[in-house]
Amino acid sequence: GLLVGAAVAGGGHHVDADYPDPFPNDEPYRELLASEFSSLTPENQLKWEFVHPERDRYEFGAADAIVAFAEEHGQAVRGHTLLWHSQNPDWLTEGEFSDAELRDILHEHISTVVGRYAGRIAEWDVANEIFDDSGALRSENLWILRLGEGIVADAFRWAHEADPDARLFLNDYGMESGGPKADAYLALVKELLAEGVPVGGVGFQGHLAFEYSAPGGMADNLRRFVDLGLAVAVTEADVRMPVDGTPTNAQLTQQAEWFGELLEGCLDAGHCTSFTLWGAPDRYSWVPVFFPSQGAATPWWDDLSRKPAYDTLWGIL
C-alpha cells in the first residue's frame, strides 16, 4: 500500500530556466513518471504564488493537468502546500490586510484549493516548515506572525472540511534523525490531537547532503509519531553531492545507501504511507539551482539512465 512518488517539475525555478512549461511536455519524462511511480506531487503548481497569483484569481491549469495525468495512470496525488512562509504572492505579502481579512483569505484559499480536488488528493501538506532548526516557530511565517500559532489548527480544520478523505500532514526538513525540530513537532501534534484537530501525518522531506550526516536513527524517531496514531511519509527525498566532474562510484554507492536508509527508516517506523522523490531525473532537480556546485541528487542521470540508487530503492520496494 506504500505510495511511491515523484515531484512533477514546473513552476518555481523551472519557470525561468529551460523548462517554462508548468508540466513539461516531454514524452520520455512523462513516460518515466507514469511507469515508475504510484503517486505524483506538483512541485510548485499548488503553491500560493502559482495557484493564487492575484487576490481574486486562481490558476488551476497546471495542477489540473497533473491530477488528470495521475488519474489516467492510476496514480495518487500529494498536495503541496497550504500554509508556508515561502513562495507566497506579492499581493499577499505586501498587501495591507487586517488580521480578520488575512484569516478569511487563508480560509477561502484552503476551501477553494482543497475543495477543487476533494476526493482526488490522497495526502495534503497543510503546513510546511513552520519550525526552525532550534524548534522555535519560524518568525518569517506571515500566518503565524499575524494570527498566532492557533492558525495552524484552523488550517487543518478548514482542509478537513473541504476534503474529509485526505490525510493531512505537517511537513518539514532536517528532522529525519530527531533533534529539536522533530521534538517540536512531536509536542505540537500531541496538542493538536488532544484538541481533536484532524492532523493525520508528519512528512519528513528527506533532502540529504553529503556535507551533513546520514539519516541514522530514523525509524526510532518516526515511530514516536506512529505511536500517536499518525502516519509518516518521506515527502521530498533527494541526496545531493558536490559535482566537480562526474560523480565517483564511491559517491554513487553512498547516495544509494542514503536513499535506502530514508526508505527503510520510513517503512520500519510501521505506518509509512508514501515515499516521494523530489524531482527526477537530475535535469529537473531543484538542487543545482539552489545549492551551487551541488547536484546529481536523483536516482536518474539527465538522459534517464539509472544510478545505483535506483536499484537500491526499487530493490527494497
DSSP letter string, 171-211: EESS-TT-SHHHHHHHHHHHHHHHTT----EEEE--EEETT
Choice from 38, 44, 274, 298 touching ligand XIL (CB under 6 A)? 44
Ranked by CB distance to ligand XIL, the top (closest) residue is: 12
Give me the least distance between CB of 4 and ligand XIL, in Å please.
Answer: 18
Of residues 284-303, which lie at the interface with ligand XIL (CB under 6 A)?
286
Minimum distance, C-beta of residue 194 to ligand XIL, in the bound complex (Å): 27
Question: Is residue 201 a contact residue for ligand XIL (CB under 6 A)?
Answer: no
Contact 27, 297 (CB under 8 A): no
277 Cβ partners below 8 Å, 6+ apart?
5, 6, 7, 236, 237, 238, 298, 299
> Is the Cβ of residue 177 or residue 308 nearer to ligand XIL in the bound state?
177
Whether 128 and 83 have beta carbons less than 8 Å apart is answered as: yes
Determine the length of the chain.
317
* Residue 276 is a binding residue for ligand XIL (CB under 6 A): no
Please say if 236 is a catalytic residue.
yes
| 43: nearest Cα among 93, 6, 69 | 6
81 vs 251, which CB is nearer to ligand XIL?
A: 81
Q: Which residue has the cell 526538513?
A: 173
| 312 alpha-carbon distance from chain centroid | 22
Please state the closest distance from residue 154 (CB atom) to ligand XIL, in A. Answer: 21
Name the β-bridge partners of 293: none
- In the complex, least distance from residue 286 CB atom to ligand XIL, rounded to whole angstroms: 3
Q: Which of 236, 257, 261, 264 is catalytic?
A: 236
Q: Does the footprint of ligand XIL cover residue 128 (CB under 6 A)?
A: yes
Nearest residue (CB) to ligand XIL, 127 versus 162: 127
Give the H or E element holding residue 152.
Answer: helix 150-162
Handedness of CA 93, 97, 103, 106 (dihedral sign): negative
Contact 276, 222 (CB under 8 A): no
Residue with Cβ nearer ligand XIL (154 or 236): 236
C-beta of 277: minimal distance to ligand XIL in Å?
12
Which residue in the block uniquely carries the three cell numbers 540529504? 208
Kindly give the pairing relationship between strand 231-242 and strand 201-204.
parallel
Pairing of strands 76-83, 294-295: unpaired
Q: Which is nearer to ligand XIL, 90 or 99 (CB)?
A: 90
Count of residues binding ligand XIL (CB under 6 A)? 8
Do residues 144 and 127 touch, judged by C-beta distance below 8 A? no
Beta carbon nearer to ligand XIL, 206 or 308: 206
Q: Are 109 and 48 in contact (CB under 8 A)?
A: yes
Query: Sign of the C-alpha dihedral, residues 104, 105, 108, 113?
Result: negative
To the query of whether residue 96 is one of the catalytic residues in this protein, the response is no
CB of 169 to ligand XIL, least distance (A): 11
Near ligand XIL by CB under 6 A: residue from 13, 160, 181, 240: 13
- Catalytic choice (43, 49, 129, 261): 129
CB of 258 or CB of 308, closer to ligand XIL: 258
Binding map of ligand XIL across residues 216-255, x = CB under 6 A, - = no contact: --------------------x-------------------
**Among 189, 273, 287, 177, which residue's Cα sits nearest to residue 234?**
273
Q: Which of 3, 4, 8, 12 binds ligand XIL (CB under 6 A)?
A: 12
Grid cell 484559499 in the structure block, residue: 109
Q: Which residues are catalytic?
A: 129, 236
Residues that bind ligand XIL (CB under 6 A): 12-13, 43-44, 128, 205, 236, 286
